[in-house]
Chain A
Amino acid sequence: METVTDKKIVIETRDIAKVYHDSKIAVQALRDVDLEISEGEFTAIVGPSGSGKTTLLNIIGGLDNPTAGTIKVAGRDISKLKDSERIDFRLHNIGFVFQQYNLIPVLTARENVEFIMLLQKIPVHEMKARSLHLLEEVGLKEKANVRPSELSGGQQQRVAVVRALASRPKFILADEPTANLDSASAANLLDMMARMNQEEGMTFIFSTHDQRVIDKARRVVTLEDGIIKSDEVRS
């Protein structure tokens, strides 16, 4: 098995455990998860439903705290950050793509892309130029002024990826990004993300059980019952 050690590590988890207390039952979602992800990776976290993929992604994204262990993102232990610091950290370091209803429905594609930059207080002229440039890159320049309801599912996810990219994050977390897409749209989206990974070196981490995504990934981390079962790096 090949490991990625020659590049800068952006995510590092040590002995991560997560226990949910559902009523009186304690559910162990993750246990002893050690994971290092370096910049430029195109990694899929796979596993059956309930294996802990989304929980791990939430912890990496600073949306949830581990019950035990440490999580360092870009060299910072994010579990120790206060709520507002963590929001700021996410805003400037992590791009998110969710499974559904990702975009703000009342904003146009372009405004959705600009939204994160607005939160980052990026100057308006720069914001506008960057949003248009990114939309052009993914073939959605013509759709810049339409609202999400007028876009197909695949187009919406492409806008979501562009929005995540617009904030110039250290990496992008995508939770089942192709789950609601047809084959053509999924392939299109994956090609776009792979191109951005190769051309711009953007780090992508997916949680998925979609074989199309798994096939494209250059590293596949398999989770089962909250434990890393395998960690395969493909050439």
Chain B
Amino acid sequence: MMFKLAWRNIWRNKRRTIITIVSIAFAVILSSLMRSMQLGSYERMIDNSVRFYTGYIQIHKLGYWDEQVLDNAFYPPKGLQEQIESLDGVEAAVPRLESFALASFKTRSRGAMVIGIDPEKESHLTGVEHKITEGSKVGLNDPRVLMGSGLADYLNMKVGDTLVLISQGYHGVNAAGKYEYFYGAEGLLTAMAVVTDQPKDVDDVREEILGDLDTTAYEVMGWKTMMPELIQGIEIDNISGIIMLLLLYLVIGFGMFGTFLMMTKERLYEFGVMLSVGMHRSRLQLLIFSEIVLLAILAVLAGFALSLPVINYFSRNPISLPEEYKTAFEKFDIEPIYAFSNEPIVFTSQAWVVFFMALVLSAYPLYKIWKIDPVTAMREGR
């Protein structure tokens, strides 16, 4: 009967209950959308950044990340690539040898990053073959190189021209020839990048790799360690988003408090009667708390019901930015879209906030009941 009583009590003043539910639901919708867009942007930003180059996990010779020179390359243990690819949650292991060189063509030259890749494996990570604007994709034993369009433009090179690279090879050998022979680094890698099926698998996969590797010889790094600036940037942006949400919830919190205040004031006489006839204060408090929780549940569910289809739609169909913004976004290697996240945390975090607010705000009616004197309540509540 107590549940029945709580349920009926919240519908005693239908209009006020509906206004309260709508206002909380509206806040849940707004904050879910805001949060979904924010988290979706971060996911997209991380995915873009990670897939642009580093991958979610990299294996190096111990100390390579602090001193990224060719001399810190390593001979991958036999079967490493296959072993990693056999792990749960791993899509591919992508071998790389990278260093720097002076790239020249005719009278122009420029410092350039030179990366030796396995084109087939690389397609799992950077999808480099989809980014070719001129010419065709290169194969494993291909005599051709793939050049960034910026560098090609700078050197005034076209497809079919011959590029000259000058650099220092592994342990001081003169760099000459092609591919790994250029650096005198046959069979060596500077990194083995790992592509996971899901970004959330990173920590588990990293732990598994660490378990199989000699950690005195190798280091296994996650993208968060390799790209701290990205994390910091996201964290700073995230704080501003959270402040916006707090302001929104502050406004809604006052609305909720108003409802709870009215709920308490207008039922003062009734509380007095209930205490008089033998209802314990704790039981009355539980009743009022149940009403508040029920109200919060209804509001959160209404908010979810309305925001879920919208967020689901936009997570599948991100909003494309107008043409004028595209260049600016592309400059930072970010896709010119507003992506939405439909991760459960988008919704659960709103639910927790509303319930936490309800919990805090319920302190007033609960305190009032604790202190109430039945005679005074019946006199004042009349």
Contacts and interface: CB of A to CB of B under 8 A. Distances in A.
Interface of A: 58, 61, 63-64, 83-84, 87-88, 90-92, 96, 98, 100-102, 104-107, 111, 114-116, 118-120, 163, 167
Contacts of B278: 87-88, 90-92, 116, 119-120, 167
Given A101-B273, A102-B273, A104-B270, A87 B280 contact: yes
A91 B277 contact: yes
Contacts of A88: 278, 280
A85 to B, nearest CB: 11
A122 B349 CA distance: 42
B382 interface: yes
Given A105-B12, A106-B8, A118-B1, A63 B269 contact: no
B276 interface: yes
Contacts of A105: 12, 270
B277 A58 contact: no
B273 A98 contact: yes
Interface in B328-382: 374-375, 378, 382
Contacts of A115: 1, 277
Nearest to B283: A119
Interface of B: 1, 4-5, 8-9, 11-12, 269-270, 273-281, 283, 374-375, 378, 382
Contacts of B378: 98
Given A58-B375, A98-B273, A106 B279 contact: no
A111 B277 contact: no
A83 B276 CA distance: 11
Given A92-B278, A116-B278, A100 B382 contact: yes
A92 B278 CA distance: 8
B23 to A, nearest CB: 23
A90 B277 contact: yes
Contacts of A163: 277
Contact of B276 (A63, A106, A107): A63
Contacts of B9: 106
A92 B280 CA distance: 13
B281 A87 contact: yes
Contacts of A104: 5, 270, 274
B307 to A, nearest CB: 31
Given A87-B280, A88-B278, A107-B5, A101 B375 contact: no
A149 B8 CA distance: 14
Given A90-B276, A100-B382, A114-B1, 6 more contacts: A88-B280, A90-B278, A92-B278, A106-B5, A119-B278, A120-B278
B266 to A, nearest CB: 11
Contacts of A84: 280-281
A101 B276 CA distance: 13
A87 B382 contact: no
A113 to B, nearest CB: 12
Contacts of B8: 106-107
A111 B1 contact: yes
7 contacts: A83-B281, A96-B277, A104-B274, A105-B12, A111-B4, A119-B283, A163-B277
Contacts of B269: 101
List of 8 A-B pairs having minimum Cβ-Cβ separation, nearest first: A91-B278, A106-B8, A90-B278, A63-B375, A64-B375, A63-B374, A96-B277, A58-B375
B343 to A, nearest CB: 40
Contacts of B279: 87, 91, 119
A163 B278 CA distance: 12
Nearest to B12: A106
Question: Which of A92, A100, A120 has the most chain B CB within a 10 Å cutoff?
Answer: A100
A84 B276 CA distance: 11
A105 B5 CA distance: 10
Contacts of B270: 101, 104-105
B276 A61 contact: yes
B149 to A, nearest CB: 72
A103 to B, nearest CB: 9
